[in-house]
C-alpha cells in the first residue's frame, strides 16, 4: 500500500484518549486511516463519527484494535501459506449417545433433565441478519406456525415459562439474547410490544455484538469505504462467548448456582423437544460440553462432529463438511466420508445447540477472555494470494468453543432424530427449492413449519394415538406434509412422559388440526377426522378431560397463495416466505378461562366433573 500523507496528529483531535488511540493505530501501521484529512473546521462531524467508531470497536474487542490487527496478520499469513488447520490430526467417530429411539433410556434422560430445569439458563444467538432468507424483519418475529401465528420468540418464552412451572421451587429461567446492530432495536421493540412474552424483564439479558472492521490486505490494513468511514462486518456467532465474559453474566449465573448454559439459534421450533433429554445426558455423563446432533448423510452440507486426535490433542469438534471429506481421504480411508449400514456418516451433523457446564465454561472464559478460535476466509484474486477480491474480516463460530475443551473435560455428542430436534428457517423459497433439489435440507419457512407439526405428530404416536399422515405435497417446489397439524403447547407438555400421561388412545387423520394449551388437559379416545380441528385452551387451574369425542368440522384449511398474492405487499411477508396461509373454516374451540374441573363428553358438550360416566 502506498504511503499516504498524514496530517499533523495534534490537528486530528483535541481529545487525549482519541489521540492515544490514533498513536496506537499508527504504531500498528494504520496511518492510511488518517491520511488526507481535511483542515479543522471541514467535515468535523464525519471525523468525530469515525473516531467514535474506532473507539467503540477498540473497547469492545479484547486486546483492542491493535490486538485485532495483530490477530488478523497472523491468520492472514497462515491463510496465505494455505496451511491445513487439521494437519497431523486423524478423525475418529465421536462415540455419540444415540437418542433417536424413544425407549426407556430416553425417558430416564428426560426425567433427569426435567429435574435440572432450575439450574439451567439459555442463550439465544440472534444477531444474524438472515441475508439468505431475505426477510425484512428479525427472524425471532417470524411465526413458527401460521395456524395460530406464534413467533419464534413467543414460543421460546412459553417453553421457559413451562420449565418454570415444572420446578419444585419455581424461579425464572435466565434468557440471554445476543443481538447485533442489525437486530437489536427490533428485538427490543418486539419484547416491549409483547410485554416480554410473559417473561419478567429482569430474566432477559440483551447482549449486543459489535461489528468488526474489514481488512484490506495481508498486512492487516483496515479497509475504508470512503474517507472517515470504515468497512464494518459481522464477527459471527462466536462473539457470544466474549460477551458472556465481558458482561460478567456467565460468572454471575455460575455464582447464582446455575449449572448449565444451553446455546441455541434464532429459528428452531423443535429445540425444546430434545432439550430435557440432552440436559439429562449432560447431567448423567458429567459432560462439560454436549453438542446436539443429527444423523447426517455423507457429503451433506452440514458440519460433522468428529473426534480429532493428533498434535498432542484429542478434541471432539465440528469439522465443516468441505474439510471433513478431504481430511478423511488424507488419513483414514481413500473413500472419504462413507455411509454406515444405516446410510449415515460416522460423523453426526452439528445443529449448533450446545449444552455447556458453567463451571468449566467460566474457567475457560477467564483464561481466553472468550475469544474463541477466530478464522479468516479471504477470497484472493491472484495466484500469489496477495490481493483480496473484497475486504475480509476475522470471524468466530460459537461451536468452536469446543476447541478449548480438551482431554481434561468430558465432551460428548447427543444424536436425535432430525425432525424431532431441528428445523431452521434460513433460505428464501427459490434457494430452498434448489437445495432440496440437490438433496439437502431446504430450511425454508414452509419446511420448518411442516417439521414442527411433524414433531407434534411424533409426540402423539409415542403416546399411543393413531396418526394417519396426509400425503406430502409440493408448495413452490418445497416439500410440505399438510397434516395432521399438531401443536402441543409447552404449557401442555414439555416431555414425552407428560404427553403419555395426558393422551391415551384416539386417532387423528389427514389434514386434521389439534392444538392443546394448558397444563391439565387429558384426551381419552378422541378421534379427529381428516380436515377437522380441535382446539382446547385451559387456564391455570382448569382441569379438562375429553372422553370419546369424535371431532368432525371444517377445521382449518391450508390455502396456497396466488401468484398475485405472492407479489403483493399486502400479503404478510411471513406468508410469502412459505407460499400459503391457513384459514379457520370452523374449528371447534374450547376455551376454559375459569379454574374448575370439566369434562367434554362424546357429544362435545361440556359438563362439570364429576359427571355421569358412560358405561
Ligand atoms: N448469528 C449471530 O448471532 N451473529 C452473527 O454474527 C451471525 C449469526 P446462521 P451458519 O443450522 O445447519 C450454523 O447464519 O453460521 C446467529 C452453524 O455454524 O443461520 O451459517 C444467527 O442469528 C453450522 O455448523 O448459520 O451455520 C443464528 O441464530 C450449522 O449448524 C445463528 O447465529 C448451521 O448453523 C446461526 O447463524 C445449521
pLDDT at 615 over 50: no
Task: Give the tens place of pLDDT for each residue, 42-53.
Answer: 999 999 999 999
Task: Give the angle 459-462-466 at the CA atoms, nearest 5°.
Answer: 90
Rounded Cα distance between 124 and 38, Å, is 44
Give me the pLDDT at residue 614, please: 42
Give me the pLDDT at residue 440, please: 85
Tell me: do 360 and 462 sit in the same domain: no
pLDDT at 4 over 60: no
Give the mean model confidence (pLDDT) for residues 486-504.
98
Pocket flag, ligand 1, residue 270 (CB < 6 Å):
no
Give me the pLDDT at residue 447, please: 98
- CA-nearest residue for atom 20, ligand 1, is 426
Q: Which three cell numbers stand for residue 220?
A: 492487516
Element (H, E) at 568: none
**Residue where a domain stops, chosen among 424, 449, 470:** 424
Tell me: do 188 and 234 sit in the same domain: yes
Tell me: do 395 and 464 sit in the same domain: no
Give me the pLDDT at residue 406, please: 78
pLDDT at 610 over 70: no
Rounded Cα distance between 272 and 155, Å, is 10
**How does 464-500 read in b/e, with b if 16+ C-beta sit within 10 Å?**
ebebebbeeeebbebbbbbbbbbbbbbbbbbbbbbbb
439 vs 436, more confident: 436
Pocket flag, ligand 1, residue 183 (CB < 6 Å):
no
Task: Give the tens place of pLDDT for each residue, 72-114.
Answer: 999 999 999 887 788 899 999 998 999 999 999 999 999 999 9
588 vs 405, more confident: 588
Give the mean model confidence (pLDDT) for residues 519-531.
98
Range of the domain at 573: 432-608
Q: Which residues pair with 533 in a beta bridge?
A: 513
pLDDT at 5 over 60: no
Are the C-beta atoms of residues 437 and 427 closer than 8 Å to each other? no
> What is the 332 CA–ligand 1 centroid distance (Å)?
29
Q: Which pLDDT band, with edges at 50, 70 and 90, does 15 fall under?
A: confident
Tell me: do 419 and 437 sit in the same domain: no
Give me the pLDDT at residue 496, please: 97
Give the mean model confidence (pLDDT) for residues 189-194.
98
Q: Assess if residue 310 is contained within a domain.
A: no
Q: What is the DSSP pairing of strand 542-547 with strand 521-524?
A: parallel
What is the atom index within ligand 1 of the atom nearest the CA of 303? 24
Rounded Cα distance between 203 and 601, Å, is 41
Q: Which pLDDT band, with edges at 50, 70 and 90, does 386 fall under?
A: very high
Q: Assess if residue 4 is contained within a domain.
A: no
What letter does residue 417 receive in the DSSP assignment? -
Task: Give the tens place of pLDDT for each residue, 390-399.
Answer: 999 999 999 9
Pocket flag, ligand 1, residue 243 (CB < 6 Å):
no
Tell me: do 403 and 528 sit in the same domain: no
Tell me: do 253 and 389 sit in the same domain: yes
For the chain, the average pLDDT equals 94
The percent of residues above 70 in pLDDT, for the chain, comes to 97
Q: Assess if residue 333 is contained within a domain.
A: no
Q: Assess if residue 115 is contained within a domain.
A: yes
Q: Which three cell numbers stand for residue 466?
A: 393413531
> What is the 237 CA–ligand 1 centroid distance (Å)?
6
Tell me: do 535 and 400 sit in the same domain: no
**Residue where a domain stops, chosen among 371, 399, 424:** 424
pLDDT at 515 over 70: yes
Give the mean model confidence (pLDDT) for residues 293-315.
90
Tell me: do 288 and 152 sit in the same domain: yes
Task: Give the tens place of pLDDT for each residue, 234-278.
Answer: 899 999 999 999 999 999 999 999 999 999 999 999 999 999 999
What is the atom index within ligand 1 of the atom nearest the CA of 398? 18
CATH of the domain at 120: 3.90.550.10
Least confident of 123-132, 354-363, 536-545: 123-132
**Residue where a domain stops, chosen among 365, 391, 424:** 424
Pocket flag, ligand 1, residue 21 (CB < 6 Å):
no
Are the C-beta atoms of residues 462 and 500 closer than 8 Å to each other? yes
| Residue 481 Cα distances to 60, 334, 427, angstroms | 46, 39, 19
Long-range contacts at 222-226 (CB < 8 A, ≥ 24 apart): 222/30, 222/33, 222/65, 222/69, 223/391, 224/32, 224/33
- CA-nearest residue for atom 14, ligand 1, is 128
Q: Which pLDDT band, with edges at 50, 70 and 90, does 300 fall under?
A: confident
Pocket flag, ligand 1, residue 237 (CB < 6 Å):
yes
Helix segments in 395-471, DSSP class H: 418-421, 429-437, 445-462
Give me the pLDDT at residue 8, please: 62
pLDDT at 612 over 50: no
Provide the CB-side half-sphere exposure for 527 (13 A, CA): 6
CATH of the domain at 596: 2.160.10.30
pLDDT at 6 over 60: no
Q: Assess if residue 613 is contained within a domain.
A: no
- CA-nearest residue for atom 36, ligand 1, is 128
Give me the pLDDT at residue 101, please: 96
Tell me: do 377 and 244 sit in the same domain: yes
Give the mean model confidence (pLDDT) for residues 151-166.
98
Q: Assess if residue 31 is contained within a domain.
A: no
> What is the 159 CA–ligand 1 centroid distance (Å)?
21
Q: Assess if residue 314 is contained within a domain.
A: no
Give the chain's domain count: 2
Give the distance from CA 517 to its chain's centroid. 24
Helix segments in 150-259, DSSP class H: 152-165, 184-193, 239-246, 249-255
Pocket flag, ligand 1, residue 362 (CB < 6 Å):
no
Tell me: do 467 and 359 sit in the same domain: no
Tell me: do 119 and 225 sit in the same domain: yes
612 vs 505, more confident: 505
Rounded Cα distance between 406 and 404, Å, is 6
SS (H, E, C) 467-482: EEECCCEEECCEEECC
Least confident of 312-316, 423-427, 512-516: 312-316
pTM score, two decimals? 0.93
Tell me: do 153 and 240 sit in the same domain: yes
pLDDT at 2 over 70: no
Give me the pLDDT at residue 576, please: 97
> Scanning the structure block, which residue is given the C-alpha cell 400479503?
571
Amino acid at each position: 500500500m502506498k504511503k499516504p500523507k498524514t496530517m499533523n496528529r495534534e490537528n486530528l483531535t483535541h481529545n487525549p484518549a482519541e489521540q492515544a488511540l490514533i498513536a496506537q493505530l499508527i504504531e500498528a501501521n494504520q496511518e492510511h486511516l488518517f491520511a488526507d484529512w481535511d483542515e479543522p473546521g471541514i467535515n468535523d462531524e464525519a471525523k468525530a463519527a469515525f473516531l467514535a467508531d474506532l473507539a467503540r470497536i477498540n473497547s469492545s474487542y479484547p486486546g483492542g484494535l491493535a490486538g485485532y490487527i495483530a490477530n488478523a496478520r497472523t491468520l492472514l499469513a497462515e491463510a496465505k501459506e494455505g496451511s491445513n488447520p487439521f494437519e497431523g490430526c486423524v478423525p475418529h467417530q465421536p462415540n455419540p449417545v444415540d437418542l433417536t429411539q424413544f425407549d426407556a433410556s430416553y425417558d430416564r434422560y428426560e426425567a433427569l433433565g426435567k429435574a435440572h430445569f432450575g439450574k439451567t439458563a439459555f442463550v439465544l444467538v440472534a444477531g444474524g441478519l438472515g441475508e439468505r432468507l431475505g426477510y425484512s424483519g428479525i427472524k425471532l418475529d417470524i411465526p413458527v406456525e401460521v395456524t395460530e401465528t406464534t413467533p419464534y420468540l413467543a414460543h421460546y418464552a412459553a417453553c421457559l415459562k413451562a420449565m418454570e412451572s415444572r420446578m419444585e421451587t419455581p424461579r425464572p429461567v435466565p434468557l440471554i439474547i445476543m443481538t447485533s446492530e442489525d437486530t437489536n432495536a427490533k428485538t427490543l421493540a418486539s419484547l416491549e410490544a409483547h410485554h416480554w412474552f410473559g417473561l419478567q424483564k429482569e430474566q432477559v439479558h440483551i447482549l449486543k455484538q459489535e461489528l468488526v472492521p474489514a481488512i484490506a490486505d495481508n498486512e492487516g490494513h483496515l479497509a475504508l469505504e470512503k474517507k472517515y468511514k470504515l468497512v464494518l462486518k459481522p464477527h459471527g456467532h462466536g462473539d457470544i462467548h466474549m460477551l458472556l465474559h465481558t458482561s460478567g453474566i456467565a460468572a454471575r449465573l455460575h455464582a447464582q448456582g446455575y449449572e448449565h448454559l444451553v446455546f441455541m439459534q434464532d429459528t428452531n421450533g423443535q429445540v425444546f423437544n430434545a432439550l430435557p433429554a440432552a440436559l439429562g445426558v449432560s447431567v448423567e455423563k458429567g459432560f462439560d460440553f454436549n453438542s446436539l446432533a443429527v444423523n447426517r448423510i455423507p457429503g451433506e452440507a452440514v458440519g460433522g462432529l468428529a473426534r480429532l486426535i493428533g498434535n498432542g490433542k484429542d478434541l471432539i469438534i465440528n469439522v465443516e463438511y468441505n474439510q471433513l471429506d478431504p481430511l478423511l481421504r488424507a488419513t483414514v480411508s481413500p473413500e472419504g466420508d462413507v455411509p454406515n449400514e444405516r446410510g449415515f456418516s460416522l460423523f453426526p451433523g452439528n445443529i449448533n445447540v450446545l449444552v455447556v457446564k458453567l463451571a468449566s465454561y467460566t474457567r475457560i472464559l477467564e483464561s481466553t477472555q472468550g475469544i474463541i478460535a477466530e478464522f479468516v476466509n479471504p477470497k484472493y484474486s491472484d495466484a500469489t494470494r496477495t490481493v483480496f477480491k473484497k475486504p475480509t474480516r476475522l470471524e468466530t463460530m460459537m461451536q468452536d468453543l469446543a476447541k478449548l475443551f480438551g482431554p481434561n473435560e468430558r465432551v460428548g455428542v447427543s444424536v436425535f432424530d432430525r425432525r424431532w430436534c431441528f428445523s431452521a428457517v434460513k433460505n428464501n423459497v427459490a434457494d430452498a427449492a434448489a437445495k432440496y433439489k440437490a438433496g439437502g435440507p431446504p430450511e425454508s419457512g414452509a419446511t420448518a413449519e411442516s417439521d414442527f407439526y411433524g414433531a407434534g405428530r411424533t409426540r402423539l404416536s409415542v403416546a399411543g394415538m393413531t396418526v394417519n399422515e396426509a400425503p406430502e405435497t409440493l408448495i413452490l417446489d418445497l416439500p410440505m406434509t399438510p397434516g395432521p397439524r399438531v401443536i402441543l403447547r409447552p404449557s401442555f407438555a414439555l416431555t414425552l412422559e407428560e404427553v403419555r400421561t395426558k393422551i391415551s388412545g384416539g386417532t387423528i387423520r389427514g389434514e386434521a388440526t389439534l392444538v392443546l394449551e394448558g397444563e391439565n388437559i387429558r384426551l381419552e379416545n378422541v378421534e379427529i377426522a381428516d380436515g377437522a380441528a380441535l382446539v382446547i385452551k385451559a387456564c391455570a387451574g382448569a382441569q379438562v378431560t375429553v372422553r370419546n369425542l369424535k371431532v368432525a368440522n371444517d377445521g382449518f384449511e391450508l390455502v396456497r397463495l396466488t401468484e398475485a398474492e405472492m407479489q403483493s405487499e399486502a400479503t404478510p411477508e411471513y406468508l410469502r416466505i412459505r407460499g400459503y396461509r391457513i384459514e379457520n373454516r370452523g374449528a371447534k374451540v374450547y376455551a376454559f378461562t375459569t379454574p374448575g374441573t370439566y369434562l367434554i363428553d362424546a357429544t362435545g358438550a361440556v359438563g362439570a366433573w364429576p359427571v355421569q360416566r358412560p358405561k
